[in-house]
Structure formats: structure tokens, C-alpha cells
Structure 1
Amino acid sequence: MPAEHDQIAFVTGGTGFVGSHLVEYLLENRFQEVRCLVRTDPKFLKGFPVTTVRGNLSDRAALAEGIKGADTVFHVAALTRAKTWEEFLEANVEGTRHLLETVRSVNPGIKMIVITSSLAAVGRSEMDIATEATPLRPISQYGKSKAMMEEIVRSFMSDLPIVIVRPPAVYGPRESDIFTFFQSLSRGFCPIVGSGEKDSLSLVHASDLVRGMAQAGRSEKSAGETYFLGGAAQYNWNEIRDASATALGRRVLTIPIPPFLVGAIGAVSELVGKLTNTYPPLNREKAAEIRYACLMCDHSKATADFGYAPDKDLWSGIDETIQWYRKENWL
């Protein structure tokens, strides 16, 4: 594979949270050209020296424009929240199919395609910590769409060099979902399911994740493989609360929520979302994932195959994230 400064990358989802961090990493590592699929608003890409390709995952002409001559495709675009299953299906499953069909048609000699999936594809598991061998039994529609997407992706692996990466929960500057947790703490309250004492969550900082994605994209071992890309450790909610409170510089009141109440709270939140035409931070599916899904992963396979070594510790990572929220007036 040519040196990174001789390479061309095509990124879908580059305007979003993880995608923009990936674009930033690729530019810092002197990729010759970074092309980004952009529907309308460049959002977090503003100011970055990227080549903009206008279109979406259903626009095969736009996909072809971005893919022709590219060395690596990073597919990050996805819907994490939607009002219907059909929206998840169109964006996460059919959109990925369109992308791979276009690669096969216009650039069959591409060096690598990195597909971003999610730990949510695993869902229910008897294991506390998922490995790549853990069966997929997703709970949420999002997780089901990612599992279905992976099945589609594997059907292309005999024709194309593809690697699937599965991050767990991702945090860092520009993140807007976990942000609601930090927002609650900034107001002095910290809801925690159960005692919060047991390690129960893999959390990866965006900077660690995108470095791992780039490593997977240039590894000679990764084609045809699936990898978890987790954080430096497994965490419990009390650790996350304490690191966040310290970064915020304030005391917070912990509000313990009995696990059996999470489903009811999710149902009420979902109803409010329907009445207000908004996406609630918690719904019945998210509540079920909190109670029953495997939320931790083991990234030792990625470490063994291409040296993945996340090094952002929780306290500095959360501090950096909260300072960004404050700078951008999110908090």
C-alpha cells in the first residue's frame, strides 16, 4: 500500500461526529486528498481542506465520483435514530449496499473499504464482554439494522477487501447523544441505573476510535475481518460521574434508578417524544439495551492484528469533551 501522503480517501458521514474526527485525522496524517460525501450542510467539516462530493448514499453518480481513483473508502454514515424501521433499513442497510455495489463497479481494485458497524449489533449476550465470536442478537432497531448491514457487507467480501469495525459508545468533542448525560450533570443531577459500582460500559474517545479505523484501513491482516475498537478500559457509571463532575467543577446529586423502572421511564419518554415530534434521549428500546444488552467489548484482536492501542484516559477525555461543549456554548 502506498504511503499515506500518496493516498486518496473517500469518507461517508464526514460531516458528523465520528466522521469529522476521522477526516481530521486523515488530513493530519497527510493523505493526498480526502473526499467527503455531503448532502447539504458541511457542519463540522467547515474549514477543512476536503473535496466535497454533493449527494447521498442513494445517489450512485455521487458515490461513483467519490470512489473513482480512491485508495480507501471509510463508510461512517449511518442513522442512529429514526422514527420508522424503513428509515433505518434505507440508510444503514440499503445505503451500504449501494456503496459497495458502486465500488465493485467503478473501483474493483480498491485497496480497502472500512465499514463502521456498532456494538449495538451484538445486543443480548450471556457474556459480560463481547468478542468478535459473540453471536448477534440485537435488541434495538438500530442494532438490528447494523447486524443486517454486516450480513450484506460479508456477501461482498469475496469480491472486495473489506473490514468491519464495531465501536462501543463513543464520546468526545462534537458528540450529541451522550451529551444529554453531561447536560444533566451540569444542572446538578446524575441519574444512574442501579448502584453504578460494577464495570458495565465500554467507552471509546473519538480520537482513539478514528486512529484504529485508519489502522484497520491499512493493515494487511484486516481484509475480511471484524474488529471491536473499544477504549482504554471498561468503566462503571460512578467513575464516569466523578470524572464528569470534576471536569464541570461542581457537585452533583446522584439519582439511583431501580433497573425495573427503566422500561417505564423509557415508555413515558417515548410518548413525550411522539407528542412533541422529537427524538427522546431514552425510549423503550434504549431502556431494554441498558438492562439487557452487552455494553462492553474486547478489542484484543485489533491489538494483535494491527497494534490498536487506545490511550485516552477517561478523566482527560471527559475534561476535553466538556471544555469543547463550553467553548461551543452547548453547556
Structure 2
Amino acid sequence: MNRGVAFVTGGTGFIGSHLVEELLRRGYREVRCLVRKELRWLEGLDIVPVRGDFSRIDVLWEAVRDADVVFHVAGVTRARDWATFEQGNITATLNLLGTILEANPNVRKVLITSSLAAVGYCPGGVATEESPLRPISAYGRSKALMEQALRAPRADGPPFAELLPIVVVRPPAVYGPREADIYTFFRTVSRGLCPIVGSGRRPELSLVHVRDLVRGMVDAAESDVTTGQTYFIGSEQFYSWREIRDATLKALGRRALTVHIPPFLVEPIGALVELAGRLTGTYPPLNREKAREIRHACKMCAVDKARRDFGYRQQIGLEEGIQETIAWYRQQGWL
């Protein structure tokens, strides 16, 4: 089936590259991808690279001018300073939407990728689309402000949400081939040590395989009822860390020593790891901001609305997904 032209930002990254593969699988006539430097995971795929970034309005104009669907996946997930989050997650999104409004106001759908982190503190433990946004981390705050900016009046007119067919998706934790942050957990377990915060017995995490996520994203973009809506796209089951540990050990085919970390130590550990990263010139996946999220932010979300509106269902179980992911890491020499 010819589904027309799609433009993807963030296509060279983890989620974006899987999204591009899903679009090609579904028969989109042309898939354009914003590429700043290297093609990375897009190498060898039948895509049209668009060379540039969000500061190049002329480049964005040509990319969106006759696109049927725009998928905005690009964003900053880790940064030491607020200015980087603001530029990468808020300003870039508004630049893109402003260009679409001028160049292609009749676009069929614009999908914006947010995050469960935008919700932050959630007393009930399971976020829904009606949960207030009370982010805990700078990353979560940037995504929450991005969402709010979609619906805020602009200096020169009504909100973008009233002028463009926008749908927002909020993934929880995402894993799968090419993922590089949760990967550090798998690497640690492969070395014989499994750190778990608290007892790890109770379900406390939505964890979605990247292929389930991108399938849901495309379904949301292709649905006629999703305009103006926000959706969580995650796992239908909530997982405990013990379940994740057991699935990981089975996939690795080995044993590991489980180390239970008292919750009150998570933030000090995050600060120490971040300090060590400064000494080596890196900003590690576990840092003060991430530790604060682990300790206090909501990590589970309901997918009932996505199931009701466009038939979303989780298709990849935890054991199958981790088995595939570990196999990929091994094939690539990551493990």
C-alpha cells in the first residue's frame, strides 16, 4: 500500500531508526529523515536523508512541504544544563511546527514524541493521560513545557494544537536492539552483578519493546480519531525488577549476584556516578537527575486509551523481548 510521504526527525537514533523501518515495512512511498551528520542505523535503508538541523528553516521547509505525515522523535534525553534541554526539546519542536504551519498547513498528521517523565510525581503510581504534569527531572520538565507550548496561544495567533492535526505520544522506559542506556543494566548483569533498588518484588515499571512502541506510534498517526489527543504507549503488564532480572539471566544463560540497594542510597549513588563522569568527561546514564526520577517519579502508565482509540496491544512479551535484545548486543559485540 502506498501511504505517501513521511518525514522523521531523530531517525538516526534508537527509537527513530526502528520507526523508519516500520514506515518502510508499511509501504510509505518516501521516508525522509533529518540527518545532522552520520546516517548511523539508517545506513543501507531506502530513505531520503535531509541534511541539516532545526536551526535551518529552509531545510525543514523542503522536508515538510509535501509530507503527508511528520514524526517528531528527535530530542535531548541527557544534558548537564537546562539550556540544552530547552533548545533541544522546546525550541526545536516549536521551530518545526512553525515551519509546518507555513509550508504544509494541510498535513494529515503531526506526531510529537514526549515522555512519561513529563508526568513525574503521581500519587496513584500509575499515570493516565489525565494525570497532572508534575515533572521531577529537568528532562521531564522540558517535555512537560513542550506539551504545554503546543496548546499555548502564540504571539502571532492561536495555539499550534488548534491549527495542526497534532497527536502526542508518551513512551515509558523503552528497550530493544540499539538502546544504549538500559543496556548498562544488561552489561552489569552479564558481568555477574545485578543491582536492584529495594526488594524488586512488586510491579513498578512499564517497559515497552521498541517495536511495540513504533507500531503504536504509526497506528496513532494513521488513525482518524487521534488528532488533539495524548497517548501513553507502553506495556500492558507492569514488571517487577525481579522479573526483569530473571528474564535477563535466562537470556544470558548465566547466574549473577543480586545486590539490593536501599532506596535512600539511589540519589547519593547517582551523584557519585555523575561526579565520576565529570572526571572522565562523560555524562553517564545514571546521574543525579535520573536518580531523582528512579526514586520519586511515576514509572508505570496505563495504555487503555490507546487500546480504545486505535487498538494498541502489546505484542512482544518481556522474556521474548529481552532474549532478542541480548542476542543483538552479543551480535554487535556490546556484550
TM norm structure 2: 0.97
**Corresponding residue SS for 1:10:** strand
Alignment of 1:240 with 2:244, yes or no, is yes
Match for residue 88 of structure 2 among 91, 96, 99: 91
Task: Please say if residues 236 and 302 of structure 2, whose CA atoms lie closer than 8 Å, have aligned partners that are also in contact.
Answer: no
Alignment pair present for 1:29 and 2:46:
no
Letter in 1 for 2:94: R
Percent identity over the alignment?
A: 57
Q: State whether residues 232 and 311 of structure 1, in contact with CA within 8 Å, keep that contact through their aligned partners in structure 2.
A: no
Q: Give, in angstroms, the shift of residue 168 of structure 1.
A: 0.1
CA distance in 1, matches of 2:209, 2:63: 28
Following the alignment from structure 1 to structure 2, what is the Cα–Cα distance between the partners of residues 185 and 5? 44
1:213 corresponds to which letter in structure 2?
Answer: M
Is residue 2:67 matched to residue 1:70?
yes
Structure 1 runs not aligned, ≥5 long: none
Pair 1:132–1:254, CA change in 2 (3 A): same
- Structure 1: which amino acid aligns with 2:4? Q
Structure 2 residue aligned with 1:179? 183
What aligned pairs does 1:203-214 form with structure 2 within 5 A after superposition? 203-214=207-218
Runs of 5+ unmatched residues, structure 2? 152-158
State whether structure 2 residue 132 is matched by structure 1 residue 132: no
Describe the SS at the equivalent of 1:66.
helix
**C-alpha distance in 1 between matches for 2:269 and 2:235:** 29
1:86-143 Cα offsets, whole Å, 9 max, x none, are 0110010000000000000000000000000000001011011100000011111111
Q: Does 1:143 align with 2:149?
A: no
Within 5 A, what are the aligned runs for 1:136-285? 136-154=133-151, 155-285=159-289
**Which of 319, 325, 332 is the equivalent residue of 1:321?**
325
Runs of at least 4 residues off by over 6 Å: none
How far the C-alpha of 1:44 sits from its partner, in A, is 0.3
1:101-112 equivalences under 5 Å are: 101-112=98-109
Secondary structure of 1:35 counterpart: strand
With 136-145 and 268-277 compared, the bigger mean Cα shift is at 268-277
Question: C-alpha distance in 2, partners of 1:158/1:126?
Answer: 31
Report the number of matched residues. 328
- The answer to whether structure 1 residue 114 and structure 2 residue 111 are counterparts is yes
Q: Distance in 1 between matches of 2:290 and 2:7?
A: 32
* SS of match in other structure, 1:58: coil
